[in-house]
Amino acid sequence: MIIKSPRFTLPSFNRWGVLAIVIALLMALPVLVIGSFVFQATNDNWQHLLDTLLAEYISNSFILMLGVSVGVLSMGIITAWLTSMCDFPLRRLFSWTLLLPLAIPAYIIAYTYTGLFDFAGPIQSALRDAFGWRYGDYWFPEIRSMSGAIVMLSLVLYPYVYMMARAAFLEQSLCVLEVSRTLGNSPLNSFFRVALPLARPAIVTGLSLALMETLADFGTVQYFGVNTFTTGIFRTWFGMGDSGTAAQLSAMLLSFVFALILLERWSRSRAKFHHTSNKYSLIKRFKLHGWRAGLAFTACLLPVLFGFILPASQLLVWTFTTAEDNIDRSFFMLIGNSLFLAAIAALVAVIIALMLSYSKRLFKSPLIDASVRVASLGYAVPGTVIAVGVLMPFAWLDNSVDSWMREQFGLSTGLLLSGTLVALIFAYTVRFLSVSIQAIDAGLAKIKPSMDDAGRSLGLSPFKVLRQIHFPLMKGTVLTALLLVFVDVLKELPATLILRPFNFNTLAVRAYEMAADERLADAGAPALMIVLVGLIPIILLSKAISQSRAGQS
Amino acid sequence: MPLLKLQQIAIAYGNHTVVDDFSMTLKKGDIASLLGPSGCGKTTLLRSIAGFEALKQGTIQLNNDTISSQEKTLAPEKRNIGMVFQDFALFPHLNIKDNIGFGIRHLSREQRKQRTEELLALIGLENFETRYPHELSGGQQQRIALARALAPKPNLLLLDEPFSSMDVELREELAREVRKILKHENITAILVTHDQQEAFAMADHIAVIKAGKLQQWDSAYRLYHQPNSPFVADFIGQGVLIDGLVVDENRIETSLAPLEGKVPNGCKIGCKVKILVRPDDILHNDDSPRKAKIIARNFQGANYLYTLELEDGTKLLSLVHSHHHHGIGEQLGITLEIDHLVVFSQS
């Protein structure tokens, strides 16, 4: 007797499975196109680049990564330990406000600090007024520099480390720390010998995420005049119009990214073995008093102050001072454009994610698993690289269709895809698909297969199982996935800059253009909008985090 | 001289007193058990001995040094008291050798190696040095946790429900094995458990605890046969407390039969009492004129445990060889055989 799959018999692998694989490969197309350039023959521009700028790109990228590593690790680990294991004034408030800097894209924080610390900014002006200095009389750190970029990126990326480290600390069975005490170690010793090594995989995961963002950053380094791969790709593409060299640079950047992905995967797999216990006793936080409490308070306040409060206030000030000139019909058009784009991209990404995740669950086929994994590589790939990887095949397709139509019918179709919103939305989907896949997978994992079975045994058809069990359970998950992609699209800058249709503006692009024109104050209003929308998922995230630990009040 | 001395200790979380007026002493080499229902404060007590909980009142002395009092709590790392946790709490990032060697880093590399090998031999896990905790079974992990705690030769070893995550069939066996190891090393230990079989299998002395208070501190045998309170009688072993009326200096009238035995102090004629009747006190005898109705039965293999009811509603338990097969509702002939009467006054 042939026993069919007991769970769902409706979709046959042939139709759904193949469709899933095709979609997954389509999503992987830009990365594959760029990847293929690793093996391409070189041209003169490439040789020129090799002789001149490439060494600078590489060394700058390394210095940037090194500096950001130091920044995010020190800020992230210290604040995570303090808020999870110690008790001091406003600890609960800090445990979620420490996430807020995540809402500010790096390029926007760069604009605000430039505004604050530049020669004409309020800080230097105040100093000059107070001491009667004039230009050249005094030294002041140059914010638009490599070290400035390191500080900016660290300030908004440390929450990745904070989040992962905090979860790891909270997840650690308190028993391992206590056992270390009974074996003769002081609390501080126990931290270095037990807690930190145990949290290391999680911390490395957070660090690799932060470094991926660092490599992907375009807005900050471009504005600060630090030459890295992303600015190089942009320049070769727009400045020299050399798509081949841009793609080769992208391929090189991609190899950096893959190293980080491997690091992240490896540390995640290690984390499994570093799980200590399923039993959670209530954490007894170490109560800090006096100067210790003050120190802990300050250590948590500084990242929030400089990573969120200060830049957000600057944006508010700019928005109000320029409101009369900026808040007009075109501004609302801008908001409309951005919301429209983000909504469409979020919808597309979530629908595809649902398809892929369900295919994974239903077929349990290694082939589908593998193609979904390839399709979700986009999260690590910088927007500039994806833009180049989207434009090249689209341009080829447009040209082919155009010449074929001209041959056959004598009419030119021009650019059908490249330079349209289709290209842009496709790029967003590629970039942020994994965000939605991760969310949907997590939601699906909560629906145990036994629930499907229970539903079937209680007389529900497969379709009714979907409608009566999965749909209600997945509603929240799908909304979360939509929101996450929505916000990411809203913040995205480089891909939008490269792929947007002529004269089509978004909030991010407007902020970028204003800043590039040295009209920082005018960048305030669009930037503030981005930050405000970006706050929504952060607040949801902080809620989820505070509820994540069983038995934790 | 006792090794460990708890004097009238009290522990509280805020206003909620968890342990109250608790005293006990332990000789070197003895194994004690803190036994009680969950939430009775036994784990809190253990943690206070380890130094993780501060005392509200009383003192804890180890080798005549006060390690805990109202004023001070010596840090756990300074007590040289080993602890085995419920979930073992092995360090997942360290291999077995480094787990066991964690607490003896002050020793030379050679000494450490020697001690580790010695312990692995003791627990029967030679050649496991380079394995990692996640590669081991639950029973193996547990023995490693024991070895790790024993490595620094602690003054005292504390075990917090160390068998609770094991299969029920394995628990007693493991408990006996651990006892053998501890006795071999002449380790003084305290075991916390809510499972009396575990406590019986491992401990020389057992403290029965209820709501943070010590009920009885005795050997397993005496807890079973001479419980000092209705709670202990009920908690240890099976049995029922039936009503009785004192009619003479050493005679008690019950609905079962008149019984002879020592009446509690201060109990005069006419005093109402409760008498402990164990299932093995009620013998089955078809010829006996005394009958009781079977209202439930529980097949246990060699025996049936019958629940019986007398005319006045008094319920009894009786352990009967399972060859004697009787149905529910039948009248079962019984005789009473109580060697030593356990009587509690009802006030």
DSSP A529-547: HHHHHHHHHHHHHHHHHHH
Determine whether domain A43-283 maps to CATH 3.30.300.30: no
CATH of domain B4-233: 3.40.50.300
Residue B73 is given by DSSP the state B
Q: How many CB pairs under 8 A join A and B?
A: 77
Q: B271: helix, coil or strand?
A: coil
- What is the per-residue pLDDT for A552? 41
Q: What share of chain B in percent tops pLDDT 90?
A: 41
Whether B170 has a pLDDT exceeding 60, the answer reads yes
Is the Cβ–Cβ distance between A277 and B89 less than 8 Å? yes
Contact B85 A179 (CB under 8 A): yes
Reported as a pLDDT band with limits 50, 70 and 90, residue A7 is: very low
Residue B272 to residue B275: CA distance in whole angstroms: 10
> Would you say residue A12 has pLDDT above 50?
yes
Interface with B, mutate which of A174, A183, A553 (most B CBs under 10 A): A183
Cβ distance of B81 and A185 shorter than 8 Å:
no
Contact: A182, B149; criterion CB under 8 Å: yes
Q: Is residue A52 over pLDDT 50?
A: yes
Among the ranges given (A40-49, B84-93, B155-164, B258-267), the one the predictor scored with the smallest mean pLDDT: A40-49
Q: What is the pLDDT of residue A4?
A: 45
Task: Tell me the pLDDT band of A442, cut-offs 50, 70 and 90.
Answer: confident
Q: Which residues of A touch B73 (CB under 8 A)?
A: none
- Chain B residue numbers with beta carbons less than 8 Å from the beta carbon of A273 are 92-93, 132, 134
Q: Is pLDDT above 50 for A10?
A: no
The two domains A43-283 and A314-547 share their CATH topology (first three levels equal): yes
Per residue in B91-115, pLDDT (tens digit) is 888 889 999 988 888 889 999 999 9
Give CA–CA dist B112/B123, Å, rounded.
Answer: 17
Q: Whose CA is closest to A251, among A420, A54, A424, A52?
A: A54
Residues with Cβ within 8 Å of B137's Cβ and at least 6 positions away in sequence, in order, are none
Is the pLDDT at A11 greater than 70? The verdict is no
Q: With beta carbons under 8 A apart, name residues in chain B contacting A200.
A: 93
Q: How close does chain A come to B164, measured CA to CA in Å?
A: 12
pLDDT for res A277: 55
pLDDT tens digit sequence for B20-70: 999 999 999 999 999 999 889 999 999 999 988 899 999 999 999 999 999
pLDDT the model gives residue A1:
39
* Chain mean pLDDT for chain A: 83
Facing B91 at nearest CB: one of A176, A182, A278:
A176
CA-CA distance, A73 to A66, in Å (whole number)? 11
Q: Are A254 and A35 in contact (CB under 8 A)?
A: yes
For residue A133, pLDDT beyond 50: yes
Average of per-residue pLDDT values in chain B: 89
Which comes out higher in pLDDT, residue B113 or A141? B113
Angle value at C-alpha A443, between A440 and A445, nearest 5 degrees? 110
**Same topology between domain B4-233 and domain B238-341:** no
Look up residue A38 and give its DSSP letter. G
Mean pLDDT of A419-425: 87
Shortest Cα distance, chain A CAs vs residue B154, angstroms:
9
Q: Which residues of A touch B91 (CB under 8 A)?
A: 176, 179, 194, 198
Q: Are the Cβ atoms of B92 and A274 closer than 8 angstroms?
A: yes
Interface contact flag, B93 A274, Cβ < 8 Å: yes
Q: Does B76 touch chain A (CB under 8 A)?
A: yes
Which residue in this structure is represented by tokens 């949907």? Answer: A440
Among the ranges given (A119-133, A286-300, B297-311), the one the predictor scored with the smallest mean pLDDT: A119-133
Closest Cα in chain B to A195: B91
Q: What's the pLDDT at B206?
A: 95
The pair of three-digit structure tokens given for residue A505, joined into one six-digit string: 């503006």
Q: Tell me how far apart the alpha carbons of residues A376 and A436 are, in angstroms, rounded to a whole number.
A: 9
Task: Name chain B contacts of A185, Cβ cutoff 8 Å.
Answer: 77
In degrees, rounded to 5, the angle at the alpha carbon of residue A19 between the alpha carbons of residues A17 and A22 is 110
Nearest chain B Cα distance for residue A164, angstroms = 18
Question: Once rounded to an integer, what is the mean pLDDT over residues B137-164?
Answer: 90
B164 touches A: beta carbon within 8 Å: no
Percent of chain A with pLDDT over 90: 22
The pLDDT assigned to A295 comes to 93
Whether A194 and B91 lie within 8 Å, measured CB to CB: yes
pLDDT surpasses 90 at A330: no
Contact across the interface for B83 and A278, Cβ inside 8 Å: no
Give the least confident one: A102-111, A460-469, A501-510, B130-139: A460-469
Task: Identify which of A104, A155, A145, A109 has the alpha carbon closest to the alpha carbon of residue A520.
Answer: A109
Q: Across-strand partners of B32?
A: B190, B205
More confident residue, A137 or B183: B183
Window 218-257 of B: residues touching A by CB (8 A cutoff) are: none
ipTM of this complex > 0.85? no
Rounded to a whole number of angstroms, the distance from the CA of A198 to the nearest CA of chain B is 6
Residues of A with CB under 8 A from a CB of B: 173, 175-176, 178-186, 193-194, 197-198, 200, 273-279
Which residue is associated with the tokens 């075991």?
Answer: B191
Mean per-residue pLDDT for A415-423? Answer: 80
For A197, nearest residue in chain B (alpha carbons): B93
**pLDDT at A49 (0 to 100):** 72
What residues does each domain of chain B span? Answer: 4-233, 238-341
Task: Please tell me if residue B18 touches chain A, with a CB cutoff of 8 Å.
Answer: no
Q: Give bridge partners of residue B158 from the DSSP assignment.
A: B83, B190
DSSP state letter for B284: E
The backbone torsions φ and ψ at residue B237, rounded to the nearest 5 degrees and listed phi first, read: 70, -175
Give the global pTM: 0.78
List CB contacts of A411: < 8 A, sequence separation 6 or more.
Answer: A405
For A173, list phi and psi in degrees, rounded to 5.
-60, 130
- Of residues B323, B47, B15, B42, the one with CA closest to residue B196: B42
User: What residue spans define the domains of chain A?
Assistant: 43-283, 314-547
- Nearest Cβ partner for A275 among B77, B92, B103: B92
Question: Which residue in the set A185, A197, A198 is minimally distant from B77, CB to CB?
Answer: A185
Q: Is the pLDDT of residue A150 over 50?
A: yes
Nearest CA in chain B to A172: B89
Most confident of A377-381, A396-400, B97-101: B97-101
| pLDDT recorded at residue A72 | 96
CB–CB of B92 and A198 under 8 A? yes
pLDDT of residue A549: 47
B50–A178 C-beta distance less than 8 A: yes
* Tens-place pLDDT, residues A444-456: 887 777 777 777 7
Output the six-digit token pair for A23: 């979609």
Judged by a CB distance cut-off of 8 A, whether residue B333 touches chain A is no
The predicted pLDDT at position B347 comes to 63
Mean pLDDT along residues A357-385: 83
The whole-angstrom separation of Cα A487 and Cα A491 is 6
Q: Is the pLDDT assigned to residue A143 strictly greater than 90? A: no
Superfamily, domain B238-341: Nucleic acid-binding proteins (2.40.50.140)
A70-80 pLDDT, tens digit each: 999 999 999 99
CATH number of A314-547: 1.10.3720.10
**Which is higher by pLDDT, A449 or A431?**
A431
Contact: A182, B89; criterion CB under 8 Å: no
